[in-house]
Amino acid sequence: MQLRNPLLLSLLAGSLHEAGAVSQGSTPCVDPAWSSSDIQIVRDVAFGSAFNFVTGKNETLLLDAYMPPAGDSRKTRPAAVLVHGGSFETGNKESDDEPELALNLAARGWVVVSINYRLEGYPMPAGLLNDVAPIAAVEDVRAAIRFVRKNAAEYRLDVDRVLVAGDSAGAIASLYLGYVETAQHEGHSGNPGFRSDVQLAIPVSGQLVTQAFCRTVVPKPTDCKVQNLTNNHNNEVGARPGQPALLMVHGTNDLTVPYANAKAVFDRAQATGLKSKLIAIPGARHVPFRELFHTGTYFKDFMSFVVDALKLSADECPTPMETSVVV
């Protein structure tokens, strides 16, 4: 990945947290093996380029890499590609809480990249009424997935255990990559010759019908600023072999991307036998990362499904660190 730069060297030279004995009730890959301060972060790595039809310029695509400490001795490690939100018109690899998701995954053993992609959703809302912006984004996400596999040998990555996760627009891109027929092409954003499939898609506040920014969502979405209900890809979920498992996270009071539309995707996945789970967070609004990370057992449930869906074996999971009891 061309990650050997001064920042990485300083991180490698720093003190590392060694995982302790497994504490009672801990589960490898579900519970953290390191703290967030132990994670190596390398920023602004170029992984491809593509022509942006909105700006009229060729755009260099960058990612930030989040990696377990150098003391991690596992022979193979799962990988994750994270895709930010922003209505396909704003945002970047440090937007929303994607960095916190990256740290959470890296602390549990993943090698994670959070990416930039072309933003072609202009003008708003007209730019969001068709598939042009999401498909351009998917082409760039595929380049990042290929980049991960291109560097798999050097960074000990398991090419058959790769997930894609995103929020809002990034969630929609993740869904398109996994399930939408017209998005099943490689594009020309970089790293040809490597696979761009994933084994798990994780949309946080995503949908497969064009409807957003609504005034109300109960009992059904009404007065939505973005709406083209004929652009509906729900029936493509489970419609062909080889589609990834699906883990959805959604707030039930999401006015930006209605919960009902996420539920429709999940219901279709369940009806077709696709391995799937929906973590519905009652009363939560758009992109409920705060609740996911810090409320109840949501994140433990989240990680448990991830481990199961990727069929992670014990040798691919680091030993959880011993947790201390606060009196």
pLDDT per residue, tens digit, the chain (327 aa), is 545 433 333 333 332 333 333 344 689 999 999 999 999 999 999 999 999 999 999 999 999 999 999 999 999 999 999 999 999 999 999 999 999 999 999 999 999 999 999 999 998 888 899 999 999 999 999 999 999 999 999 999 999 999 999 999 999 999 999 999 999 999 999 999 999 999 999 999 999 999 999 999 988 999 999 999 999 999 999 999 999 999 999 999 999 999 999 999 999 999 999 999 999 999 999 999 999 999 999 999 999 999 999 999 888 999 998 653 333
In the prediction, which pLDDT does 5 show? 39
pLDDT value at residue 126: 86
- Domain membership of residue 226 (yes or no) is yes
Q: What is the CATH number of the domain that holds 185?
A: 3.40.50.1820
pLDDT (0 to 100) of residue 26: 86
Peptide linkage before 244 cis (omega within 30 of 0): no
Starting at the edge strand that comes first in sequence, how are the strands of the sheet with 276-281 ordered? 40-52, 57-67, 111-115, 77-83, 157-167, 200-204, 245-251, 276-281
Q: At what angle do helices 169-179 and 132-150 cross, to 10 degrees?
A: 70
Task: Please give the backbone phi and psi of residue 182, each rounded to the nearest 5 degrees, phi first.
Answer: -70, -10
pLDDT of residue 284: 97
The answer to whether residue 322 sits within a structural domain is no
**Are the C-beta atoms of residues 39 and 113 closer than 8 Å to each other?**
no
Taking Cα atoms as reference points, which of 221, 286, 237, 276 lies closest to residue 86? 286
Instruction: For residue 321, tell me if it sits in a domain.
Output: no
Please state the φ and ψ torsions of residue 258, each to the nearest 5 degrees: -60, 135
In a domain, 156, yes or no: yes
For the chain, counts of helices (H) and of strands (E):
8, 10
The pLDDT of residue 25: 66
Residue 321's pLDDT is what? 83
Query: Would residue 327 count as lying in a domain?
Result: no
**Whole-angstrom Cα distance, residue 297 to residue 72?**
27
Residue 323 has a pLDDT of 52
| CA–CA dist 204, 193 (Å, integer) | 30
pLDDT at 317: 94
pLDDT for the residue 10 = 34
324 domain residue, yes or no = no
Look over the chain and give the mean of its residue pLDDT values, rounded to a whole number. Answer: 91
Assess if residue 326 is contained within a domain: no
Q: Return d(Cα 192, Cα 202) in angstroms, integer.
A: 24
pLDDT of residue 322: 64
CA 255 from centre of chain = 21
Q: Which domain holds residue 259?
A: 6-316
Evaluate whether residue 95 is within a structural domain: yes
Task: Quote the number of domains for the chain.
Answer: 1
Q: Which residue has the tokens 């729900």?
A: 234
